[in-house]
Amino acid sequence: MNASINMNSFQSKIAALRERYAEQTSEKIDFIVSTWSRYCETPNRDDFEVLLMEVHRISGTAKTYGFPRLGEMACDLEKLLIDEGVANPSTKALSIIDQLKDYSADEDEGFEA
């Protein structure tokens, strides 16, 4: 019985963490989109590094919290940014940014806690 109480407590904590992460996704995506827009207007190393860091964070955490689609998009964007470096933004990267704008954590098929 004690083991099932501990498992329920663990599952509740995981569910709370997942819910908090889901609530923060729109802010994270908005930050990426605004940084991307600023970068496209005037490409510079500072915006590029901020953008890359935030995309890297999402790439590394989204799947862990049960948001595989978001993780895949961030991973793909991170790879493009690394491959392209501080250059003119590509249409592939723009396509992923557009997908991020339409992303909804409620529609992402992750694990259920």
DSSP string, 29-58: HHHHHHHHHHHHHS--HHHHHHHHHHHHHH
What pLDDT is stored for residue 99 in this prediction?
94
Distance CA(18)–CA(85), nearest Å, equals 32
User: Which is nearest to 60 in space by CA: 43, 48, 72?
Assistant: 72
- The phi and psi torsions of 28 (rounded to 5 degrees) equal -65, -45
User: What is residue 58's predicted lDDT score, i.e. its pLDDT?
Assistant: 97
For residue 85, give the DSSP letter. -
Local confidence pLDDT in tens for the 113 residues of the chain: 566 667 788 889 989 999 999 999 999 999 999 999 998 888 889 999 999 999 999 999 999 999 999 999 999 999 999 988 766 667 888 899 999 999 998 888 665 54
What are the distances in angstroms from CA 82 to CA 2, 6, 89, 93? 48, 42, 12, 11
Alpha carbons 65 and 20: distance in angstroms, whole number: 10
Amino acid at 78: E
- The predicted pLDDT at position 87 comes to 66
0.75 cut: is pTM over it? yes
Q: What distance lies between CA 45 and its chain's CA centroid?
A: 21
